[in-house]
């Protein structure tokens, strides 16, 4: 399971799991690995995540994925544009978004990955 760590409470870890808070009892956690180390994507080659542009963080991209589910169309459009403009850097996050519980997020992630995907010529 991949979730963003939020807080360490007495006896509990609090995570952000696809936009919802998730409290997990510390005694039930066997291990936690930073998400960047858990990825199995190749470090280079076609489809590899690109570098983050200056002033943009991985959290900004994750927040943009969550904003794709926004009721306000303007917020969703801004998030879609940010992810589209930084698709290489957001590739791994967009792949994670394919498992998002909100169908709109999954659909837009597929659209971004299709439109900005890599192609191979033989």
Whole-model pTM above 0.85? Answer: no
C-alpha to C-alpha distance for 40 and 42, rounded to whole angstroms: 6
Ordered mean pLDDT values, 10 residues apiece, the chain (122 residues): 78 81 87 59 51 86 91 90 90 89 91 68 38
Structure confidence at residue 41 (pLDDT): 46
The single residue listed with the structure tokens 């200056």 is: 54
C-alpha to C-alpha distance for 3 and 25, rounded to whole angstroms: 15
Structure confidence at residue 61 (pLDDT): 92
């Amino acid at each position: 399971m991949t979730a963003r760590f939020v807080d360490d409470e007495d006896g509990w870890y609090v995570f952000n799991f696809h936009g919802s808070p998730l409290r997990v009892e510390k005694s039930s956690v066997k291990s936690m690995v930073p998400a960047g180390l858990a990825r199995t994507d190749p470090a280079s080659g076609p489809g590899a995540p690109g570098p983050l542009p200056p002033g943009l963080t991985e959290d900004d991209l994750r927040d943009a994925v969550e904003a794709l589910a926004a009721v306000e169309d303007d917020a969703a459009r801004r998030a879609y544009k940010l992810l589209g403009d930084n698709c290489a850097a957001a590739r791994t996050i967009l792949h994670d978004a394919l498992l998002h519980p909100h169908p709109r997020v999954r659909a837009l992630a597929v659209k971004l990955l299709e439109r900005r995907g890599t192609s191979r010529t033989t």
